[in-house]
Amino acid sequence: GQQVMQIPQYQHVQEGEDFTTYCNSSTTLSNIQWYKQRPGGHPVFLIQLVKSGEVKKQKRLTFQFGEAKKNSSLHITATQTTDVGTYFCAAFSNSGYALNFGKGTSLLVTP
Amino acid sequence: DAGVIQSPRHEVTEMGQEVTLRCKPISGHDYLFWYRQTMMRGLELLIYFNNNVPIDDSGMPEDRFSAKMPNASFSTLKIQPSEPRDSAVYFCASSLSYRGITMEQFFGPGTRLTVL
């Protein structure tokens, strides 16, 4: 399958600071999905990126898919305590049916 | 729709006992996935089904693990015998396919398994 690596593993920010997590692959990805998991919760779908160079925004969250479709990023502007959680990127396996999840980036926001 | 339903939410058992985890996917979804999540290994795909048929079980750790989907609204993941290293959160997820590709996955709340 298409494996993805995420960095950083952990990030601790002060409320109001920006945050970015990166997702990288050694192979070209067909598309990529992002999920958020709150502490003690389950992963929840955020977005899917399909096109090369695609940029999508959801309020303070900006998602980007690289031109070569080998990397992706999630940027949060002016973090809030509600942004706390682990953010996962996931790429489809070669079959196109199952997802390979990255290890995630755990975000801690202190007021 | 109530979303993906899993039971039990918590399970504590002793080593050697049989454990059965249950999942009810979202009605109409044609794919069902079982994952295991631990701090060390992250979120691992164990097995997935399409229209109740197991497609890929290469993630199942060993023969102690088995999964079934007798109908479109029910799946089980069984561990027999259980071992302490099986302690983890087990998630079930379902999704709908469109033009041969699965869309977003909807996860259940998970079952936190502790094997003593």
Write the pLDDT tens digit of every residue in B25-67.
Answer: 999 999 999 999 999 999 999 999 999 999 999 999 889 999 9
In 3D, which of A106, A15, A50 has the Cα closest to residue B101?
A50
End-to-end CA distance of chain A: 40
* Residue B8: cis peptide before it, omega within 30 degrees of 0: yes
- In the structure encoding, which two tokens stand for residue B86, read together? 């099986």
pLDDT score at A1: 56
> So what's the pLDDT on residue A2?
63
Higher pLDDT, A68 or B1: A68
* Alpha carbons A66 and A83: distance in angstroms, whole number: 24
Tokens at residue B106, please? Answer: 């909807």
Kindly tell me the sign of the dihedral angle through the C-alpha atoms of A18, A25, B101, B74: negative
Neighbours of A72 (CB within 10 A): 27
Per residue in B13-27, pLDDT (tens digit) is 999 999 999 999 999
- From A41, A42, A98, residue closest to B33, measured CB to CB: A98
Mean pLDDT calculated for residue range A63-75: 96
Contact list in A for residue B31 (CB cut-off 8 A) is 97
Chain A positions touching B50 (Cβ under 8 A) are: 97
Which residue in chain B is spatially nearest to A36 when comparing CA positions? B107
